[in-house]
Amino acid sequence: MIALTAKLLYTPLQQIEKPLLLLEGVQIVQVTSWGTDTVPAGARLVDFGEAVLAPGFVDIHIHGGAGHDVMAADPDALSPVEQLLFRHGVTSYFPTTVTAPLEQTLSALDRLASAIEQGAVQGRPDRATPCGIHLEGPFISHARRGVHPPENLLPPTLATFERFWQASRGQIRVMTIAPELEGAREVIAEASRRGVCVSLGHSDADRAATLAAVEAGARHATHTFNAMRPLDHRDPGIVGTVLTDSRVSADLIADGIHVDPAIVDLFLKAKGPEAAVLITDATAATGMPDGRYRLGSFEVQVKDGRCTAGGKLAGSVLTMDRGVRNVMQFAGWGLQQALRLAALNPARVAGLKGKGRLEPGCAADVLVLSPSGEVRATIVGGAVRDAAGQG
């Protein structure tokens, strides 16, 4: 058994001063404080001093990092991505596809499913763990496709969804879809029935089509504002509906590039700490110098923090820890509240049980943070030796 202590612990819903966090194997067994308990006999104590303990981050929308794309044919491509995520506090993630030729997408889904299955049985103390696939495209709008190749977009049909499902061996956990497309409601209903979090995005939908999709089972929105029909005061469309419907959670790229800081503040006021989620939408360029990198089947260019293709934004180079600190800066939120958007909320949205919170029975995925949100250490599956550098 290992006992962790620090100045503060955020569950993240509760704050505990002088915490005592007990880990046994890959699970949390007790969350208490020095004032009410003592270190069990035989347990190894690791003291992180003035730091803050928090749950590991969960990124439900990421395309790559460290020079590698998650759809790459190279089976070793995920390792450097996962190591980069680990360094920035992400302990669980959803590798995200981008629209590509059908056979390429099917092959990528098969490879990603294998990585998820392998990660479930092998401990990876220095890497984030893939926990499901986010299928972004090809069921998206031509009008709001962003950089997704138009020639590879497909109409949503149950038959095509079934091919994706079989290729992924049931590992699709999130799916972005444009609700206004013909056939979308049937696919939304079936995907929801299978436990997929259906997320509305890359869409030109009006309010009626958005509401119909929610009634069919959609319950989330992908990178709100980006690749969406713009908000109009007489035509609220998908954005207005997402911001005001309490049945819908929504995510945002809080890099200050995709969405202005003032709009980040507006979004958080609209969705609140219960329904707002942070994503990175990070590409292979994340953690790399300016240059050219792959995003699925095409190339993107990065310069001065902007990732583009054909003059359009194409994902980001954002890391989750930076996103949390940006929320603190843009909206004036405290660390405890901002952490929820990167841990508890995405885990709930994606149906990840035992992730995103520090409670007995949950995964021993723990962050050691400075009071301002910088990552000092990351613990995956209770591997404190690697995180703390202690024997």
The whole-angstrom separation of Cα 87 and Cα 101 is: 33
User: Which pTM does this prediction carry?
Assistant: 0.96
Q: In whole angstroms, what is the distance from residue 280 CA to residue 62 CA?
A: 6
For 64-106, the pLDDT digits (tens) are: 999 999 999 987 899 999 999 999 999 999 999 999 999 999 9
Three-state secondary-structure class, residue 12: coil
> d(Cα 378, Cα 128) in Å, to the nearest integer?
10
Ramachandran region, residue 350 (left: φ > 0; alpha: ψ -120 to 50; beta: rest): alpha
Residues noted as catalytic = 281
Identify whether 138 is preceded by a cis peptide bond (ω within 30 of 0): yes
Alpha-carbon gap, residue 336 to 52, rounded angstroms: 10
Q: Are strands 306-309 and 44-47 parallel, antiparallel or unpaired?
A: unpaired
- CB within 8 A of 223, min separation 6: which ones? 61, 201, 251, 252, 253, 258, 279, 281
* Residue boundaries of the structural domains of the chain: 2-53+360-388, 57-350
Predicted confidence band of residue 112 (pLDDT cuts 50, 70, 90) = very high
Structure tokens at 83: 């190591």
What is the three-class DSSP state of 54? strand
**Cα(63)–Cα(42) distance, integer angstroms:** 43
C-alpha–C-alpha distance, residues 263 and 245, integer Å: 18
What pLDDT is stored for residue 123 in this prediction? Answer: 63
Q: How far apart are the first and last CA of the chain?
A: 13
Residue 185 near residue 216 (C-beta atoms within 8 A): yes
308 membership: H or E segment, kind and range: strand 306-309
Across 325-353, average pLDDT? 98
User: For the segment 180-208, what is each residue's pLDDT rounded down to a tens digit?
Assistant: 999 999 999 999 999 999 999 999 999 99
Q: Cβ contacts of residue 180 below 8 Å, gap of 6+?
A: 141, 203, 204, 205, 206, 209
Residue 8, pLDDT score: 98
User: Percentage of the chain with pLDDT > 90?
Assistant: 92
Looking at the predicted structure, is the pLDDT value of residue 362 above 70?
yes
CATH code of the region 2-53+360-388: 2.30.40.10
Element (H, E) at 173: strand 172-177
How far, in Å, CA of 122 to CA of 360, rounded? Answer: 22
pLDDT at position 10: 98
Query: What is the pLDDT at residue 14?
Result: 97
pLDDT at 124 over 80: no
Task: Label residue 391 by pLDDT band (50, 70, 90).
Answer: very low
Give the CATH fold of the 57-350 domain.
TIM Barrel (3.20.20)
